[in-house]
């Protein structure tokens, strides 16, 4: 794993991060999945946004566990750049998908209400569930 370019360009920074902060991030991801499941039938846009946030929080947990934090500017984008490196080629398509959904989420939340279809929301939710489980399995044991 080579994070040198992200560090050099200031997109991420090395930092001592507590196990408690790692745990809180993955727990937020799991909470967001439960919330997304509940609200999706009522509001596809918002369910999509909450499922996306589960992916983001799991990604942050992975970063934190390795001692990194995203820069404040473009934090979501930098987080996915980090995770793309951390998980490697095997997960490149999945991280690319999440990055595209980042853009779609921004449109749905800030620009165009009703943009997200049921199919898109359910697809993101399904991928988010698998991703949160994947990251949970890569985190150090709580303790």
Domain CATH code at residue 30: 1.20.120.330
Q: pLDDT-derived band of residue 142, with 50, 70 and 90 as boundaries?
A: low
* Cβ-contact 48, 116 below 8 angstroms: yes
Q: Which pLDDT value is given to residue 58?
A: 98
Alpha carbon distance, N-terminus to C-terminus of the chain? 26
Number of domains in the chain: 1
> Residue 48 falls within a domain, yes or no?
yes
Domain containing 66 equals 4-138
Q: Which pLDDT value is given to residue 115?
A: 79
What number is the average pLDDT over the span 22-40? 97
Q: Which pLDDT value is given to residue 15?
A: 95
pTM of this prediction?
Answer: 0.93
Residues 6+ apart with CB under 8 A from 11: 70, 71, 74, 78, 81, 82
Which of 84, 71, 59, 83 shows the shortest CA–CA distance to 7?
71
> Residue 21 falls within a domain, yes or no?
yes
Q: pLDDT-derived band of residue 73, with 50, 70 and 90 as boundaries?
A: confident
Entry field: residues in the chain: 143
> Residue 81 falls within a domain, yes or no?
yes
| Residue 122 reports pLDDT greater than 90 | yes
* Cβ-contact 75, 6 below 8 angstroms: no
> Residue 143 falls within a domain, yes or no?
no
> Residue 127 falls within a domain, yes or no?
yes
Q: Which of 25-29, 34-38, 76-80, 133-137 has the lowest mean pLDDT?
A: 76-80
* Cβ-contact 32, 64 below 8 angstroms: no
> Residue 26 falls within a domain, yes or no?
yes
């Amino acid at each position: 794993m080579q994070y040198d370019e992200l560090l050099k360009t200031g997109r991420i920074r090395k930092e001592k991060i507590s196990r408690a902060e790692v745990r809180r991030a993955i727990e937020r991801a799991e909470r967001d999945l439960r919330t997304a499941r509940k609200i999706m039938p009522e509001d596809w846009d918002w369910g999509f946004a909450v499922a996306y946030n589960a992916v983001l929080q799991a990604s942050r947990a992975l970063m934190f566990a390795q001692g990194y934090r995203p820069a404040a500017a473009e934090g979501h984008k930098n987080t996915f750049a980090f995770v793309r490196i951390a998980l490697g080629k095997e997960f490149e398509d999945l991280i690319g998908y999440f990055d595209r959904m980042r853009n779609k989420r921004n449109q749905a939340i800030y620009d165009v209400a009703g943009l997200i279809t049921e199919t898109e929301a359910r697809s993101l939710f399904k991928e988010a569930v698998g991703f949160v489980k994947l990251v949970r399995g890569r985190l150090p044991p709580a303790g």
